[in-house]
Structure 1
Amino acid sequence: MTAPAPSVTPPPASPARALLPFVLPALVIGVGSSLLLIGVSEAADLLKNVLWQTLPDAIGVGRWSVAWMLAVLTATGVAVGLVVWKVYGHAGPDPATTGLVDAPLPPGVVPGLLLATALALAGGVSLGPENPITAANIALAYWLGRRLSPGSPATVWVALGAAGTVGALFGTPIAAVLILTESMVSAPRPVPAVPGGRAPTLWDQLFAPLIAAGAGGLTSSLLAAPAFGLPLPPFSHPRWPDLVAALVIATAGAAVALVAVYAFPYVHRFFHLLPHPVLALSLGGVVLGLLGALGGRLTLFKGLEEIGELASDVAAYSAGSLALMCVVKLAAVLVACGSGFRGGRIFPSVFAGVALGFTATALVPSVHPAVAVTCGVLGVLLAVTRQGWVSLFTAAILAPDPGLLPLLCVALLPAWLLVSGRPQMQLDGTGAPLR
């Protein structure tokens, strides 16, 4: 006879007195993160309207002519280069070496980083606001937290700043929780929150970040109403052909994006052979203008509004045009980040994945558009970000049909096996890709 296995009791939650002090700071940081994102985005949109509507109309030049694209993007490169060169802190570290959540920057770097980001967003550079806005909010949250509670761990304030920003970006706290869960799994187990107690549970660790993410998402929803859903035909339930299409398209998206990932260190090295940031960013602006002329105006900017416009009129484009958009967008991300423009790689990569998905439906009309688009985005994001939860979540919210989620989870498997262990689209201090 064997003795019954002892019952395993989960560790108790941290006492309320260990969690309550972070509630108010989490709310403040979440709301502040959203307001900073909205403020920078609105300022960039105002300048964007001047650059791409008011000025060309006033001088009688076509808004999307090749000459105007080249002029605006080159001028944007010069302007950002001057900020990187002259403004205190040089607009933060080299964007090729930064991820979505990094160590806090000095607060003095934040103004230059936000200025460079706003200029790039307005000028049509193919980067999103996610990385620099997250870095700015983490820096400010850390600065605030160390003054409110000097003895608290730095990771607490980093998590609050990151969660508030990601919640604000997506309008929901779920993405923030998924990102933090991914990072917490590989982190060392925290020390007890209360002397003599046990280490906090995962929910304890996510308690304050979830509040920050919820506050940031709610603020964005009330003030800016971010929308990620695309006008796609509804998808009721998967069929066997849908499974095959999902596996093929997600893997193809990962493979296409991996080509860009492998090219990234070479593009970065080329631009950094130039002896001055103004030269590198000016040349980057010229190349981005040429890429915009090749791919069309939809391949400019961060890509969030453009994916809606593309989905609304996808029948106007051939399979070749859609494939070209995908390739041009990925090339633009390489050039923008490699030459030193400040911005994130998630939003433009979503556009590339959407274009790839529509390419599949143009080539094989029997493929359901919702399956093609979401799986294209899933594959591209897996290769570019190497974050499974974020890739799955972002793909799922583009077409929020419950029947798609099982397909996406299965389609993720071969795509993840393809990208796992490969170089990342992020470099270390020596210019070598992370793995």
Structure 2
Amino acid sequence: MDSHSPSPAPAVGETPLRVLLPQILPALVVGVVSALLYIGISELSEQLKDVLWQTLPTALGIGGYSSVWIIVLLTATGVAVGLVVWKVPGHAGPDPASTGLQGPPLSPMVVPGLLVASTLALAGGVSLGPENPIIAANIALLYWLGRRLVPAAPGALWVVLATSGTIGALFGTPVAAALVISEALTHQPGGQGSLWDRLFAPLAAAGAGAMTTSLLTDFTFDLSLPAVTDPGWGDLLAATTVATAAALCGLLGCYAFPYLHRAFQRLHHPMLMLPLGGFVLGVLGVLGGPLTLFKGLEQVKELTSHGGWSTGDLAKMTAVKLAALLIAAACGFRGGRIFPAVFVGVAFGLFAQALVPEIPPAVAVSCGVLGVLLATTRQGWVSLFTAAVLAPQPSMFALLCIASLPAWLIVTGRPQLELDKNGTPLR
């Protein structure tokens, strides 16, 4: 069985009930463990972030977000991550430019370096999220443990449970994982059994992961935007226009990405690539301001709650955050691209709303995120889901579904923000 495939369909002569019931306990355990690793790394990075951006500069008598400190700290972060990639066994995993949300299990030896590199990047202000490294680490550890503790279970089961549990924890709901896995099912020829039979264990793992996150943290994607109670034709036109324009913005980054990656690869050594990348990120942070640093989730809430941004401010933050995402991923920092892409989409949506104030903020922001994520991830369900949870209003669902159609026509078949092993963009 392919290591990427979801949980197996019932064999001939077996009832679905007999197959599904034994999967419940492993799924719940995997979901909880996946969430705990995510929460632990997030909390550790937040504590280190406070030290680096508040305690240390205060002790030195300088501003935590002064231009000099931003450049120095991001360059130092590049040096620290470069040392991990260079010296730690496993080299912190494969080139992040060639990895997505799902992939084959890594060796457990890779996990410590990958988590250290990711934690340093999250705390140091790098414009990447935790999703890719956490998913890869959970897959590696749970696949290794599962194969030893329950050798009769197929290896693919542990891969999909770890992926589902971590995605459920990351997004705070099992729905995101169900959508990701349902997309994976479309690439499995000759699948047997009902869709919900195949989603049963992943959904259990995702639910356990989401509930663990919900119980232990105050995490939420909801931006508390004013409700759109009765959308009309004008809202539909605005939604399709903003989503399409945002998709074009995201595509610009996708086309630029392989050239930036190739330029950094010419340096050949992580102690050149990552410090240089950190320095460039520091310069970008000075240009865009503190909101354009870090993974972007907390910064998105501050961006939307502050009503005094000019069109110039919003355009600058959109461009700077997109550039920071591209540089961070191209030079070798370990991290995911969804969270910073959400910031790009929110800033773009607010920019569109500043240009045309008649556009409701919920429409502008959700459709901006929808377009950017469609372009950068090429995962339709996840893009729709993420856009919807930013403004969880029933009236928005139809607008987002329709707005996704022209945006998808723009991005389908185009380069993605992910490369193959030869540096060629996936399509």
Q: What range is the shorter-chain TM-score in? A: over 0.9
Q: Secondary structure, in 3 states, of the residue corresponding to 1:275?
A: coil
Amino acid at match of 1:352: V
Distance in 2 (CA, whole Å) between partners of 1:209 and 1:21 is: 13
Residue ranges of structure 2 left out of the alignment (5+ in a row)? 1-11
Cα-to-partner distance string for 1:11-41 (whole Å, 9 max, x where unaligned): 9994322122221111111000000000000
Deviation (angstroms), 1:154: 2.3
Q: 2:7 is matched with which residue?
A: none
| Partner secondary structure for residue 186 of structure 2 | helix
Q: Could you tell me which amino acid in structure 1 is paired with residue 367 of structure 2?
A: C
Deviation of residue 322 (structure 1)? Answer: 0.3
Question: Which amino acid is 2:358 matched to?
Answer: S
CA deviation after TM superposition for structure 1 residue 302, in Å: 0.3
SS at match of 2:223: coil
Cα offset, 1:49, TM superposition:
0.2
Distance in 2, matches of 1:251 and 1:390, equals 17
Structure 2 match to 1:270: 263
Shifted more, 133-142 versus 377-386: the winner is 133-142
Match of 1:385 in 2: 377
Tell me if 1:311 matches 2:312: no
Counterpart CA distance in 1 for 2:75 and 2:15 is: 54
1:74 equivalent in alignment to 2:78: no
1:250 aligns with: 243
Match of 2:318 in 1: 326
Q: Distance in 1 between matches of 2:178 and 2:287?
A: 39
Cα deviation for residue 141 of structure 1 reads 1.7
2:396 matched to which residue of 1?
Answer: 404
Contact 1:13/1:201 (CA < 8 Å) preserved in 2?
no
The secondary structure found in structure 1 opposite 2:30 is helix
The letter for the 2-side match of 1:243 is: L
* Pairing of 1:183-332 with structure 2 (within 5 A): 183-190=184-191, 199-313=192-306, 315-332=307-324
Measure the CA separation in 2 of the matches of 1:145 and 1:259: 42
Determine if contact 1:171/1:225 at 8 Å carries over to the other structure.
no
Measure the CA separation in 1 of the matches of 2:163 and 2:15. Answer: 22
SS at match of 1:90: coil
Deviations 1:191-231 (A, max 9, x none): xxxxxxxx322111111111100000000000012111113
SS of structure 2 residue aligned to 1:142: helix
SS in 1 for 2:90: helix
Alignment partner, residue 175 of structure 2: 174
For residues 220-279 of structure 1, the C-alpha deviation after alignment (integer angstroms, 9 at most, x for no partner) is: 000012111113111102111101100110000000010000000000011111031011
Task: Report the secondary structure of 1:79's partner residue.
Answer: helix
Distance 1:73 1:330 in 2: 17
1:324-358 Cα offsets, whole Å, 9 max, x none, are 10111110010000000000000000000000010
Per-residue deviation, 1:188: 2.2
What amino acid is aligned across from residue 289 of structure 1 in structure 2?
Answer: G
1:113 corresponds in structure 2 to: 114
**In percent, how many aligned pairs have the same letter?**
64
2:154 corresponds to 1:162: no
The 3-state SS of whatever aligns with 1:316 is coil
SS in 1 for 2:272: helix
What residue number does 1:87 align with? 88
Q: 2:425 aligns with which of 412, 415, 433?
A: 433
**Number of paired residues?**
416
How far apart are residue 145 of structure 1 and its match? 1.8
Contact 1:13 1:204 in 2 (8 A): no
Contact preservation (8 Å) 1:84, 1:112: yes
Partner Cα distance (1:69, 1:344) in 2:
21
Match of 1:363 among 332, 352, 355: 355
1:13 to 1:239, Cα distance in 2 relative to 1, 3 A: farther
1:416 aligns with 2:408: yes
In the alignment, does 2:335 pair up with 1:335? no
Q: Which runs of 5+ in 1 are unaligned?
A: 1-10, 191-198
Do the aligned partners of 2:16 and 2:197 also contact (CA within 8 Å) in 1? Answer: no
| TM-score, with structure 1 as normaliser | 0.94
Deviations 1:267-314 (A, max 9, x none): 00111110310110000000000000001100000000000001110x
SS of residue in 2 equivalent to 1:366: coil
TM-score by length of structure 2 reads 0.96
Structure 2 residue matching 1:189: 3-state secondary structure: coil
In structure 1, what is the Cα distance between the partners aligned to 2:145 and 2:271? 33
1:20-69 superposed Cα distances (whole Å, 9 cap, x missing partner): 22211111110000000000001100100000000111111111111000
Whole-Å Cα distance in 1 between the matches of residues 230 and 164 of structure 2?
Answer: 33
Q: Distance in 2 between matches of 1:385 and 1:343?
A: 14
C-alpha contact (below 8 Å) 1:255/1:418 kept by paired residues: yes
For 1:331, give the aligned amino acid.
Answer: A
**Which residue of structure 2 aligns with residue 60 of structure 1?**
61
State which drifts further: 149-158 or 92-101: 149-158
Q: Which residue of 1 aligns with 2:6?
A: none
Report the more deviating stretch, 375-384 or 272-281. 272-281
Contact persistence 1:256–1:380 (CA under 8 A): yes
